[in-house]
Structure 1
Amino acid sequence: MALALDPRIQRVWRTPDCLQFGVEQPLLVLDDVSAADERMLAALACGVTREGLQLLAERAGAPPGAAAALLKRVAPVLTRDDGSEGQDERPPGRPPLVVLDAAGPTASQLAVMLTDAGAEVRGGLAWDDPALDRAEAAVIVGSYAIEPQRSARWLRRDIPHLAVVFGDAGVTVGPWVRPGAAPCLRCVDLHRTTADPAWPVMATQLHTLPPPGEDAITSTIVAARAAALVLAGVGAARGRPALPPPVGVSWRLVRDRTDKGSADGSDARWGGADWVSAAWEPHPECGCLGLPP
């Protein structure tokens, strides 16, 4: 198995024998870097097997155990686990698969951003497609609300998913749903029904409408937020140094109240692109975290 330093982490020398990983937020600082260490680090930058690294250390005159010691020191900045049992069992080098349950400008922007970050992005998959078995995340884009059957499919497959919902007063991203561990999208709908009993009747009339206000600027802003959340969720699940998205939280980009806009939101303006967060609790009538009382 090839071991490699994470190419996304910038390396910079502080002194001739001190190497720092990460600039503005340092992840690791290696002191007392010897000439043998430097040769091994250069090999790790390109990718090398454990056996190859050991051979390189011996040829560089490093003391016994130097290769293993260096691997232990740089473990936080390797691209993946070094092969310990019980860790990630995915084939080496396979990118995470993110499925887009969506179409349109936001989905297109999101696909570009996720692909640029190293993810494999697929859309338009049939529900019996074998590729879904290895999906690590999904993004659902809808109008006003997500249809229950769309979110339920991802919930049943135990695949984390993120909702992006366009409305005539703003766009909501989230919550990030981790099946069995966080409120689901049905919880959100049930809370909205508690606040307005007519909501289910209205929602059924809105699901099939085109997303209002999905222009190029809005799509880019929304896709960037969604991509960051998905990548954080997938990275944390893979054991990388990333904070997972907070569960039960959604973010709303509200249209500028001073702008009347058109009826369908096509000329909406967003006041400074400010996001407003909202927290969601599991709904007592939803069984996503257990049987309801």
Structure 2
Amino acid sequence: MVLALDPGITRVWRTPDSIQFGVDEPVLVLDGITSADERMLVALAAGVTAEGLRLVADRARAPSGAVAALLDRVAPVLAPDRREPPPTPPLVVLDGAGPTAVALGVLLSDAGADVRSGLDWSDAAVERADVAVIVASYAVEPQRQARWLRRDVPHLPIVFGDAGVTVGPYVRPGYGPCLRCVDLHRTDADPAWPAMATQLHTRDAPGETAIVVAATAALAAALLLAASAEPPHGPDPGVSARLPRGRCDWVSRAWAPHPECGCLGLPP
């Protein structure tokens, strides 16, 4: 087993005998570092076996128990065991096309995700997906979101309209509102919404400028990567973010489950 300090945590000396791990959000501060401790820290920074670390301590004439004491102190900043297999990358299916889908795929792939696009619904990856992204114009077709809902696959819509773009709400089946809930709320606000939506599903996405694409893809990628992490780091179900046309700030909105939708149980 190789012992090593986590290379992703910045180390900086506070004083000649005090070192801090992490700058903006310190993880650990070690005070009272001896010359032997410093040599062992250098070895840990490069990666060393437990036997090699004991040899470093012996050559530095460290007292008995110094290795165990130092390892106990630096435990929060040690890298994971290199013998452990790397975690399985999240499988993300892009349900949609266009510049935003392409940019999002690049960002997610660069972060280590397994990104698939242009799949048939019979593809095995559709069933195994950890999360799906639905890119749509004006509104998401009911059958598109229903296909993911039936498979219990979390999904994130990206919907372009003539007044801006909306990312979300992130749908976790069984936990919070679904996209039908959103449509029902919009129908409550405007009874003509279903008739208008059916005319808009196949239209080209408006407003996909380079700046909007970059901002939208970055936000969606961050949400999806957070969703693949351990709770509670994932996005809140039922919350959407809207970037109005010509603006630079996202506007959040929380959606509640609609009483006439059965996504969380049979409606009354």
The answer, yes or no, to whether TM exceeds 0.5 is yes
1:188: how far off? Answer: 0.6
Give the structure 1 partner of residue 235 of structure 2: 245
Per-residue CA distance 1:27-47 (angstroms, 9 max, x = gap)? x1141462334423432xxxx
Tell me the TM-score normalised to structure 2 length.
Answer: 0.82
Q: 1:57 aligns with which of 53, 56, 63?
A: 53
* Alpha-carbon distance in 2 for matches of 1:235, 1:174: 18
Match of 2:158 in 1: 164
In the aligned structure 2, how far is the partner of 1:7 from the partner of 1:102? 37
Could you list the per-position Cα deviations for residues 136-177 of structure 1 after superposition, in whole angstroms to 9, with x for gaps in the alignment?
222111011111121122222222221110011111111111
User: Do the aligned partners of residues 208 and 224 (structure 1) sit closer, same or farther apart at CA in structure 2, a change above 3 Å counting?
Assistant: same
**1:23-172 matched pairs, under 5 angstroms:** 23-26=23-26, 28-32=27-31, 34=37, 35-43=39-47, 53-61=49-57, 63=65, 65=68, 69=72, 72-74=75-77, 78=79, 92-172=86-166
Contact 2:140 2:159 in 1 (8 A): yes
- Distance verdict in 2 for CA 1:100–1:131, change over 3 Å: same
CA distance in 1, matches of 2:169, 2:2: 36
Question: Do the aligned partners of residues 180 and 66 (structure 1) sit closer, same or farther apart at CA in structure 2, a change above 3 Å counting?
Answer: farther
> RMSD of the alignment, in Å?
3.0
Residue 283 of structure 1: how far off its partner (Å): 0.8
The 1-side partners of 2:68 and 2:187 are apart by 63
Aligned match of 1:224: 218
* Residue 3 of structure 1: how far off its partner (Å): 7.9
Identity of matched residues, %: 59
In the other structure, the counterpart of 1:194 is: 188
**Selected match of 1:281 from 226, 248, 256:** 256
| Rg (Cα) greater in structure | 2
Task: Report if aligned partners of 2:2, 2:49 keep a CA contact under 8 Å in 1.
Answer: no
Report if the CA contact (8 A) 2:9-2:77 is conserved: no
8 A Cα contact 1:54 1:67, kept in partner: no
Give the deviation of 1:279 after TM superposition: 1.0
Deviation at 1:125, TM superposition (A): 2.0
Contact 2:93 2:115 survives alignment (8 Å):
yes
Instruction: State the Cα distance separating 1:112 from its structure 2 match.
Output: 1.6
- Unpaired runs of 5+ residues, structure 2, are 58-63
Deviations 1:7-61 (CA, angstroms, capped at 9, x unpaired): 55444343455444432233x1141462334423432xxxxxxxx7433433334
Deviation at 1:71, TM superposition (A): 7.0
Q: What is the alpha-carbon distance in structure 2 between the residues aligned to residue 224 and residue 169 of structure 1? A: 20
Distance 1:139 1:282, change over 3 A: same
The residue number in structure 1 matching 2:60 is: none
Q: Structure 1 CA distance, aligned partners of 2:161 and 2:6?
A: 39
The TM-score, its normalising length taken from structure 1, stands at: 0.75
Q: How many aligned residue pairs are there?
A: 256
How far 1:79 sits from its partner (Å)? Answer: 6.0
